Structure 1
Amino acid sequence: MEFAEVVRRRRMVRNYDPDRPVPADVRDRILRHALRAPSAGFSQGWAFLVLESAEDRARFWAATAPDDSTPDAPSRWLARMSTAPLLVVPLSHRDAYLDRYAEPDKGWTDRDEARWPVPYWHIDTGFAALLMLLTAVDEELGACFFGIPPERIDAFRAAFGVPEPYQPIGALTIGYRAPDPRSPSLRRGHRPFDDVVHFGRW
């Protein structure tokens, strides 16, 4: 698929065919492309938790579901999202960046987080997530990036033994698309080019 077509077709998919697993070679391609994301100082401060078995996926949804969902009465959103046969949780690792920039070629020996204008560990892990979203489109799959509720992070960590230094920046559902109602948010349309692009000055 041409890159422009991949970008044009990218959208958040919230309903999947539960009977069509993502082939292992496709899964690995999605993950390998994530490793090509840019990272400050080539720190590569990320990790990816891959959940494929029915048991692992059920444990994820039980740990992270919003408070208005229960196993017997999942929210409409969760009932569709949980059909995805593949979940990937991108995790950022701040200390990898602080350690990297304390090395001799960078020289910030104090490891002071205040030196960073924004948390590049989250940004770079987000870049990796975007590469996974684009690769899914290129593989004729659907995918959606969504947040884990802050109050559920501890339950998520406990469910999967995620070490404290790693922070989930969200999660991705990936699979073959099933009929999916168009999001009401799309009625907003894309913001006009001239509203968001400024040449030379604002």
Structure 2
Amino acid sequence: MEFAEVVRRRRMVRDYDPDRPVPPDVRERLLAHAIRAPSAGFSQGWAFLVLESDEERARFWAATTDSAAAHPPGADGWLTRMRRAPLLVVPMSNKDAYLDRYAEADKGWTDRDESRWPVPYWDVDAGMASLLMLLTAVDEGLGACFFGVPADKVTGLRAAFGVPDQYRPVGCLSVGYPGDGDRRSPSLRRGRRGLDEVVHRGRW
């Protein structure tokens, strides 16, 4: 598929065919492309928690969502359809890797002062790695969606999978073949902003 077509087709898919797993070679390409993302100082302070088995995915959803009692069947169709994804990838960022890297001699800083960073590039870089996985999924004929892990569920996620303290989940990617119930998000009714609205050439 031509790159321009991949970009044009990229969208968030929220329903999956539970009977079609992601082929192992495709899963590995998703991950191999993710680590081609740029990273500040080539710090590469990311990690990816890959969840494929029924038990692993059930543990993820149990740790990151409210109980079934709080959300009776049919009350949240979006979540019900998302749970069908056969593959979940949780990208993690490691701030310490960046603070350590920029305290090395070739970077010129002599300390790990976080205030030097105008934005948290550890999260930015993990986000760029996630985008490469989203684009790869399209190129492979799959659907994918990047969604957040609620702040109050991060501790439970860490405990459920033994995630070290220095790694923070920046979100999760659901990946699979789109299901019959997939439909466009109501948010898209807002329309895509045009270049004339977002591009400022030379000055604001």
Residue type at the aligned position of 2:59: R
2 CA distance for matches of 1:51 and 1:87? Answer: 5
**Deviation digits for residues 19-77 of structure 1, max 9, x if unmatched?**
00000000000000000000000000000000000000000000001468758636222
Alignment size in residue pairs: 202
Runs of 4+ in structure 1 off by over 3 angstroms are 66-74
Aligned to 2:19: 19
Do structure 1's residue 103 and structure 2's residue 99 form an aligned pair?
A: no
Alpha-carbon deviation of 1:107? 2.3
Kindly state the Cα deviation for residue 190 of structure 1 after the two structures are TM-superposed.
0.6
Question: Using the alignment, how far apart are the partners of 1:192 and 1:97 within structure 2?
Answer: 35
**Corresponding residue of 2:30:** 30
1:181 Cα deviation from its structure 2 partner: 2.0
Partner in structure 1 of residue 198 of structure 2: 196
With the length of structure 1 as denominator, give the TM-score of the two structures: 0.97
What is the identity percentage for the equivalent residue pairs of Structure 1 and Structure 2? 71
Q: How does 1:92-171 map to 2 (within 5 A)?
A: 92-171=93-172
**Retained in 2: the 8 A contact 1:69–1:75?**
no
Question: 1: distance between equivalents of 2:12 and 2:91?
Answer: 17
TM-score by length of 2: 0.96
Q: 1:154 Cα deviation (Å)?
A: 0.4
CA distance in 2, matches of 1:21, 1:72: 27
Unmatched 5+ stretches in structure 1: none
**What CA RMSD, in Å, does the superposition of the two structures yield over aligned residues?**
1.4
Q: Secondary structure at the match of 2:106?
A: coil
